[in-house]
Chain A
Amino acid sequence: MIQVISILLENKPGALMRVTGLLSARGYNIESLTVARTLDPTLSRMTIAVDVEPHLRRQLIKQMNRLINVLQAADLTEAPAVARELVLLRVRAPMEARTAILKEAEIFGGRVVDSSLEGFAIEATGETEKMDEFIDVMRSYGEIEVTRSGLVAVSLESKKLRLSPPIPRTVEAAENKDRNGVVNA
């Protein structure tokens, strides 16, 4: 069963690998993964769709939360959330089919982003199932080329973000002591 996990993590080298490493180490296949900076440029928001047995889900979220770079990992599979996907596709459109293709694209809320004699490039967003349908329909007009963004999800609940405050370093007290170390040398 596909799980949707939303993760807020530090925007640091290797942080992505720590999260995906937890999944690959257990042999889980990631169906989709999106990640981008948040309003705070030091943080990223990641949405992962992954095939995990439901009873292991909580454990997985806990292990993600254990990662130092992860500020919050939340399970959106059954939580109130909106999930969308972006599809960019190129479809060959001979003259006689062009109007029909445009009509169909409109039905799916698609928007033409490039038009040429060969055909169109169309973008559309929506739920995964809707996008599957959209792609199926476009395929009926001939050869297409598709790129999907993977799921992007946002929780509809305001979840309090628990962050650790800065911790004063107690070892600084040792600084004043007369020691043989390099400190006072």
Chain B
Amino acid sequence: MSSSNLMSGARMLLECLSREGVEIIFGYPGGVTLPFYDTLYDNPIRHILVRHEENACFAAEGYARSTGKVGVCCATSGPGATNLVTGLVDAMMDSIPIVALTGQVSTKLIGSDAFQEADTFGITRSCTKHNFLVKSIADLPQIVHEAFYIASTGRPGPVLVDIPKDVFQAQGHYTPVHAIHLPGYKIVTEGHSGQIRRAAQMIWEAKRPFVYAGGGIIAGEASQELRELVEIVDAPTVCTLMGLGALPSEHPNFISMPGMHGSYAANMGMTHADLLIALGVRFDDRVTGRLSAFAPHAKVIHVDIDPAEVGKNRNPDLPIVGDVKKVLPKLNKALRELEPTMAEVNAAERKAWWKQIRAWQQEHPLQPVFSSEEIKPQHLMYAIDQISKGQAIVCSDVGQHQMWAAQLIRFNAPRLWINSGGLGAMGFGLPAAIGAQFACPDKLVFAIVGDGGFQMSIPELATIASYGLPVKIIVMNNGYLGMVRQWQELFYNNRTCAVELDCFPDAELLARAYGFRGRTIDKPSELEEALREAVNEPGPYLLNVKVSPFDNVFPMVPAGGAINEMVLEPPRPVAVPAKR
């Protein structure tokens, strides 16, 4: 072996990253990662210094969610690694491909309660798809390439590689990795052809078919295939919170989001359908409500790449384990073959089904609410939608604003709507927008955040400022932890406790302190103009929108309720908290 490929572990790691096509790392340095950062000094891979490790992971997620590529984040041992945990769980819940690199104390110190030591391998075992502790430089290349392979294939997810300082420093020969051998890593992609044929038959036989599409369509890059399916059978279609944009919001067959804050038509459709075509979904409790009452009349076809999701919450009548990208073209082909003989069989019933769906849509549409005195939260989302026109990237935080945004902003392509769906991690929106803006520098990126989540991620304003990222930060400021208050009002006898955020910084001064522009508005007449100003600003912009404080998100399915038992509007008499 030539001596030319003798290199340090740190450099070997960068070599592997470079071969994996990594262009950008979101990270925060520390003691044990010093050798790595020293090598990074003259390496073309870009390192983005965030202000907190949790946000490094969220930013990597924003990057991964907006592109489909693996997001990479990096933290030091101990506190650095523990700070990553929330982001890792978030990526796990939403199946986002992340490779997290953490430093570890030197191998001979592991287990000795060394400075900044934590059992990262143990701590992150349950919040990653897989994790590795590199004990020797000889294992490093294989492990790093395996990490990328695991993160990005099958059902994507976060993979953590824990690297001790002495492994970074050791010298070794880099031998290229030619094959990944993970005998226990079983991915089924193709789908059972007999099951697919039966599914096509079932779909044509249905009188009230309903497509329930989720994040799997986006992760599987199968939007086009979904659209074909929906158009062949002309089925009404809902996209879950994770699946928004899988079918364009402006598509005539798109009904909206189902579930706890889904539309009346979406939930009634689910409840009355006789066939649910579930694609890349996991029958999450926020979608199904009370499981025993969910889609009671429907047979279920469930397509998912993860066999553990099939039958987890709802037993499907026809399971297909496979990648939607592979299964849907075959299903579409089978549907087309049957079309001449089957299309007319239930045509009349299907027409009546559509009539019913349209009637539900008209009965209780999801629509913005306006007021001349105060800015309604729905008005804010509507105004953003009018600027975005289904094209902008919208990164949302968690809470009421997230639900209103999901209800009212259109997404005409996948990977535009970025939010923490499964975990519901507050503080996600702003750092995710950083990652998305780095990934898509030419796109308009909104960070829609509540005044609660924003204050969890304020440090990242520095990251935005220092890299001059033109993120448009829109704070939907109602002075409350709105979603928690909503539950206290509705289910805890209006005993609002620990939800009032009575201090919020002056947005203009705050933004100016970081060197960019900001503004606070509270009049409906200012809204459109202020948003235009924000969007026209070449750099970052912080727009603090004071909205009417006491609005709640409706429709709402109370926890444990059936999804057709929606509360459509605020209960009367409305309990209005006493003014201070």
Interface residues, chain A, CB within 8 Å of chain B?
Answer: 9-10, 13-14, 17-18, 21, 25, 58-59, 62-63, 65-72, 162-169, 171-172, 174-175, 179-183
Contacts and interface: CB of A to CB of B under 8 A. Distances in A.
Interface stretch (B174-182, B377-385, B428-436, B556-564): B174-182
Contacts of A66: 306-308
Contact of A180 (B44, B126, B133, B183): B44
Contacts of A59: 308, 311-312
Nearest to A42: B183
Contacts of A166: 179-181
Contacts of B307: 62, 65-66
A69 B125 contact: no
Contacts of B108: none
25 contacts: A9-B184, A10-B184, A17-B122, A21-B125, A59-B311, A62-B308, A65-B308, A66-B308, A68-B129, A68-B150, A68-B184, A69-B184, A70-B184, A71-B184, A72-B184, A164-B185, A164-B187, A165-B181, A169-B149, A172-B19, A175-B176, A181-B15, A182-B15, A182-B18, A183-B19
B43 interface: yes
Given A180-B44, A182-B14, A164 B182 contact: yes
B145 interface: yes
Given A67-B184, A164-B186, A166-B179, A14 B121 contact: yes
B171 to A, nearest CB: 15
A71 B183 contact: yes
Interface residues of B, number: 38
Interface in B160-180: 176-180
Interface string B434-446: 0000000000000
A13 B45 CA distance: 32
Contact of B18 (A21, A68, A163, A179): A179
B130 interface: yes
A129 B186 CA distance: 37
Given A62-B307, A174-B19, A182-B43, A168 B125 contact: no
B123 to A, nearest CB: 11
The 7 closest A-B pairs by CB, nearest first: A181-B18, A62-B308, A166-B181, A166-B179, A163-B183, A71-B184, A68-B130
B468 interface: no
Contacts of B14: 182
B546 interface: no
Contacts of A169: 145, 149, 177-180
Most buried by A among B19, B131, B176, B187: B19
A167 B149 contact: yes
A63 B184 CA distance: 13
Contacts of B149: 167, 169
A65 B188 CA distance: 12
Secondary structure class of chain A's binding surface, majority of residues: mixed
Nearest to A163: B183
B185 A13 contact: no
Contact of A63 (B180, B185, B308): B308
Contacts of A181: 15, 18-19, 43-45
Contacts of B185: 68, 164
Contacts of B182: 68, 164
Interface in B297-336: 306-308, 311-312
Given A21-B125, A182-B14, A175 B184 contact: no
B301 to A, nearest CB: 19
Contacts of B129: 68
Contact of B125 (A18, A175, A179): A18
B180 A167 contact: yes
Contacts of A17: 122, 125
A175 B21 CA distance: 10
A169 B146 CA distance: 10
Given A65-B186, A172-B19, A182-B18, A58 B181 contact: no
A67 B154 CA distance: 12
A171 B69 CA distance: 13
A62 B307 CA distance: 7
Contacts of B308: 59, 62-63, 65-66
A16 B337 CA distance: 49
Given A66-B307, A182-B14, A168 B126 contact: no
Nearest to A22: B126
B20 interface: yes
Contact of A172 (B45, B121, B133, B178): B178
Given A13-B133, A14-B121, A68-B130, A164 B21 contact: no
A175 B126 contact: no
Nearest to B130: A68
A180 B180 CA distance: 25
Contacts of A69: 184
Contacts of B272: none
Interface string B128-140: 0111010000000
B126 to A, nearest CB: 5
A9 B185 CA distance: 11
Interface in B310-367: 311-312
A21 to B, nearest CB: 5
Contacts of A174: 19, 21
